[in-house]
Amino acid sequence: MLTQFTGLANPCATGGPPEPPARTRRGHLISEQTSGHLQTPDLQRTPRHDQDLRICSLNARTLASEASIATLESTLEGLRYDVVCLQETKARTLTERTLRDGARLILGPKVPSKNIGGVGFLVHPRLTSSIMSFSILSPRLASLRLRIGRSSLSLISAYAPTSSAPLEERQGFFEELASLYDSEKSHFYRVIAGDLNLRVGKRRDQDFRTGPFYSEPDGDPDDLLRDFLSMTRTFHANSLESIKADIKAHRLRVLLQAAEAKTSLKKAKASLSKGRSPMDALLDRAGAPILSRSGMEERGPAISLNGTELEETNAYVYLGRELRCDGSMRTELIRRKRAAWAAYGSIREVTSVLNDAKLRASLFDAHVLPALCYAAETWPLSQTTISFIRTAHRALERSLIGTNLHTMRQTMRSSADVRRIPLLTDPVDYIKRAKHRWAGHVLRREDDRWSTRVTQWVPPPLCELTRQPGRPPTRWRDSIEEYARLPFTTVGRSTRSSSNRVPYRHWTTRARDREDWRNCDPRGTAR
């Protein structure tokens, strides 16, 4: 937000009220009632409903349809605002309307030949009577003039070109913005709010026009914003940073209370974000939102089977897991790793301040481990898969306890020493137990599903074909056969004595017996 506060002309001190604003090329009066309101000196001014004027900025992505406008209304329900400066509305024509709750919506047109741009304002019902005039200069600039009590406010909504645009275009935008800023009357409070698509970077020495809260090491290399601040003698501020610490403390307090009470962190986060909803971004050619899954997904080449078109693809995500024609697991493991780090990021602010190791491990195993090992009961457990999962889990483990490999080398601690600290569940044991439960569940089915038929299917001998050189790929059942075959077993020990020998039972036969399969330990210890 860019703002400059200058001296205000007092109507009473000058001997009378100011003249009503004249009709200009760039602006017009909203109504004659507003003009009459300004001409009556004894009329009660618009009362201030609060001591602060809440000016917000929103990149709406689109407000070109009734559905997107309705979504905007539902998004702002329960939020305290006075004026919202809207950018990238993509409206086709100049629109001025009153919403259901009485708020005033003003939208400017987008770039005619492109689906970009469009700025506007949303004024709260309590301030609609204070609107003096508005101007839509371009798809990137608009101004709104308000009369609040004895003060006048000129609010500018700006939507700057992105960093991918040519430098000449971005420089031209800031020159146009400076011209609009200077053209506004000097007795107005002038405020610029919007999406400037620039970074300020770290505050430099003797730089008093930039707030001290910016700490990004790399700012705008062209210094367009700094030049604009110097040219217009304005100051750059951000009201959100003043309450950022309070918001963070409140969020941490709520999450810690949920963690100590062992309630759902997901519900606690939902309560914190209550009142916010995403805007519709996927629209069809008519501007209506696309709600069906088939409409959102890209269609492949037209391959039909019995009159039904099929999509040709080498990989497909089904129920959260990627399936590939070649059976490789590399991309799926990378997806699981990203999902695990995302799940850990959702609890990081809680686990970083917890001192109870058991509670911290319980949170980690409840949120991160299922994300890392999602659908692992259908994986073939090759050595590559096991190594990848353990490497990812150990990196998460080190982040949980606040250490890294460099610190471990300096303190002469091994990975085995570190793993004793957080008391976490081994991911490979977690996967083996999941496969054990899934195998018993599949083989005990009696409805002749495909999952059961494929598990019991034995391929015919291929006598005419030779096997490819190299080690054969690991199959899904190989890890189960390692511990579930047991040809010579008795209770508690193995033997080859004919008197104590138990008849051989294949693992698929044992899985159908619930009690026998429950006593079969996937870690291979209860043999």
- String of DSSP letters for 59-92: E-S---SHHHHHHHHHHHTT---SEEEEE---BS
- pLDDT at residue 86, as a whole number: 92
d(CA 375, CA 431): 9
- Hey, where are the domains in the chain? 2-197, 326-425, 437-458+471-519
Helices (H), 444-506: 450-456, 478-484
Question: From the CB of residue 92, how many other CB atoms can be counted at a distance below 10 Å?
Answer: 14
Q: Are strands 141-148 and 119-123 parallel, antiparallel or unpaired?
A: unpaired
- The residue type of 122 is L
Distance CA 105, CA 461 (A): 73
Q: What is the pLDDT of residue 244?
A: 60
Closest CA to 369 of 422, 291, 316, 313: 422
Tell me the CATH number for domain 2-197.
Answer: 3.60.10
The predicted model scores a pTM of 0.47
Alpha helices in 402-465 (DSSP H): 405-410, 415-419, 427-443, 450-456
Whether 524 contacts 479, CB under 8 Å: no
DSSP 8-state code for residue 47: P
CA distances from 347 to 32, 261, 361, 365 (A): 56, 15, 11, 11
Task: Specify the pLDDT at position 17.
Answer: 36
Contact 488, 496 (CB under 8 A): yes
CA 332, CA 311: separation in Å to the nearest integer? 21
Query: Residue 329's closest CA among 252, 405, 382, 368?
Result: 382
Q: pLDDT tens digits for the chain (527 residues)?
A: 443 333 333 233 333 333 344 333 333 333 333 333 334 344 344 444 445 788 888 888 888 888 888 888 887 876 778 899 999 888 888 989 999 888 999 999 988 878 888 999 999 998 998 999 999 999 999 999 998 888 888 999 999 988 778 888 888 898 899 888 888 877 678 889 888 887 766 666 556 666 655 445 556 666 787 788 878 888 777 655 545 666 677 788 888 988 888 888 888 888 777 644 444 445 566 666 665 545 554 444 456 667 776 666 777 787 777 878 777 888 899 989 999 999 999 899 898 888 888 898 999 999 999 999 998 888 888 899 999 999 999 999 999 988 888 888 888 888 788 877 878 889 999 999 999 889 888 888 888 787 888 787 776 665 566 777 888 888 888 888 877 765 544 444 555 555 555 566 788 888 888 888 887 877 654 44
Q: Which amino acid is at 131?
A: I
Distances in Å between the alpha carbon of 239 and those of 3, 202, 211, 470? 11, 18, 10, 64
Query: Please, what is the Cα angle at 197 between 57 and 224, to 5 degrees?
Result: 120
Alpha helices in 90-212 (DSSP H): 167-183
Cβ pair 92, 66 in contact under 8 A: no
Residue-level pLDDT at 370: 92
Q: Using DSSP bridges, classify how beta strands 95-98 and 83-87 pair: parallel, antiparallel or unpaired.
A: unpaired
Q: Containing H/E element for 492? A: none
d(CA 498, CA 350): 59
Biggest distance spanned by C-alpha atoms of the chain: 119
**Residue 311 three-state SS:** coil
